Structure 1
């Protein structure tokens, strides 16, 4: 079944510690053209994310946005002040004030001015780093969920495109059947014209029957479209068969459509018949519709 390159997928997750949204949009492109918008803490994961997207989507102009926010601290979530730490700090500053004879303001100023005078407990830093590292393990399945939804969107669109494109292929088959039906009439008309010309020139003293026979055979060979009709039938069958394959076949279908166009053009140029020319024009119209839709096929 064909898949469209157009798609959309979104996945969200909200916890007490963060809210995350992964949104992916995909449009037509000859190759994978990927644009990423990532939060700062995921920048070192960019190559991994690109590889995941490339493996899943293969082709398309893709925009991927990962939005990540943490809730602001509020009164309902508890105090934002570490009372114990502040109390200990004040006690230590008061002790220094008594020892040095400086005021609290002066002691505080000196503590800020001297490198290394103030220290942050090691466990606070570790907790912050852990908090920043944890979400990627939770965002990874969120990214996969968004990719799965986009691919499902593509399959749904592809199912509609498959019916539409195969309808155009069937229309070409019907028109080719009309060509086949009219071809004996065309051949008879050609035969009548040749007989008329033969009657006109056979009485000429310079008439060479051997040379005339050679030219007639060459003329008939140029008008014969039997091989083109057979090849066109085969190409149409191959196109339908390829459209039903499970793997992406957009590029292969584009090549087959080129071969279909070549046979249609040859039939039109060799037929030398107005009825068949009209049928050929109609076949070309259907083929253009196929090519237009193939541009959106993965």
Structure 2
């Protein structure tokens, strides 16, 4: 089964007048590369959040954003009124009389004048956040499956194209070998004496050297294997990449042995589809 490395999932909910929104998105990567942005309130659980995401997402360049919004004008900011007034009084002693507003602006910048409430993250809130993470990952997985189906159709289309071009090579094979033999025969006729035994030995050598039967068989096998792995195995992106490399080797050898204009054209079209396969395979989980 094909899963795309590109994914997106969002979940949100309200816990005790706090709205929590969680977004997960990913692009392709050779490994699991996670970037998390979250409020300081949840920092103590960063390791657990990373593990939850790593266990389920497996691979990709992943961004996770957790946003916290206080509802009904509830705020987690605490102003130390007594300390601010004390700062203002001391500033007046030093600077003399002046507008209270100016002293207030200076006082609120002083240490500990404004702070966040030190309410600890409760077990029930952490459980609520984990539930949101699970929901976001579930949507993320659905996105990957949908994208994977589109990828599979594109990959299969390109594999089918290469198979079609490979079958189109066959009509040119005998014509190609007959042309090679005729060229060698004409070249040898330019000499006064021809050793027929040597001629046929040379022809056997070049016939074997230019034979593409093995390359055709191996290429056909690799194409079938690619389809099998794509259809039957999970988390198959790296394996498909390796098979794609083997397909490329056989196509290149086919091209180097072709020695025929029409076969060369077919090889070029095979390479074009193979490049598309390589690009698409990079996005397979």
TM-score > 0.5, shorter chain as reference: yes
8 Å contact kept, 1:3–1:158: yes
Deviation at 1:268, TM superposition (A): 0.9
Deviation at 1:181, TM superposition (A): 2.4
Deviation at 1:184, TM superposition (A): 2.0
Pair 1:237 & 2:224 matched: yes
Larger Rg: 1
Pair 1:153 & 2:143 matched: yes
State the distance in 1 between where 2:233 and 2:48 align: 26
Q: Between Structure 1 and Structure 2, how many residues are aligned?
A: 243
8 Å contact kept, 2:15–2:128: no
8 Å contact kept, 1:11–1:23: yes
State the distance in 1 between where 2:211 and 2:233 align: 38
8 Å contact kept, 2:33–2:61: yes
Aligned to 2:60: 60
8 Å contact kept, 2:19–2:69: yes
SS of corresponding position for 2:13 = strand
Aligned to 2:82: none
Q: How large is the RMSD of aligned CA atoms in angstroms?
A: 2.1
Deviations, residues 136-190 of structure 1 (Å, cap 9, x unaligned): 1111011011011111101101101100110011011110010022212222222
**1:138 corresponds to which of 128, 141, 159:** 128
Pair 1:45 & 2:71 matched: no
Deviation at 1:33, TM superposition (A): 1.0
**1:220 corresponds to which of 207, 221, 224:** 207
State the distance in 1 between where 2:207 and 2:132 align: 67
Aligned to 2:172: 182
**1:276 corresponds to which of 241, 253, 263:** 263
Aligned to 1:266: 253
8 Å contact kept, 2:15–2:125: no
Deviations, residues 233-264 of structure 1 (Å, cap 9, x unaligned): 00000011111124111111111111111111
8 Å contact kept, 2:12–2:20: yes
Bigger shift: residues 180-189 or 161-170? 180-189
State the distance in 2 between where 1:73 and 1:185 align: 84
Deviation at 1:196, TM superposition (A): 3.2
Bigger shift: residues 188-197 or 155-164? 188-197
SS of corresponding position for 1:48 = helix
State the distance in 2 between where 1:128 and 1:197 align: 94
Aligned to 1:14: 14
State the distance in 2 between where 1:184 and 1:208 align: 25
Aligned to 2:36: 36
Residues 109-120 of structure 1: matches in 2 within 5 Å? none
Deviations, residues 71-102 of structure 1 (Å, cap 9, x unaligned): 3557xxxxxxxxxxxxxxxxxxxxxxxxxxxx
Aligned to 1:121: none
State the distance in 1 between where 2:45 and 2:237 align: 31
Q: TM-score, normalised by structure 1?
A: 0.76
State the distance in 1 between where 2:233 and 2:206 align: 46
SS of corresponding position for 1:296 = coil
8 Å contact kept, 1:41–1:132: no
Moved over 3 A (4+): 194-201, 207-214
**2:156 corresponds to which of 166, 180, 184:** 166
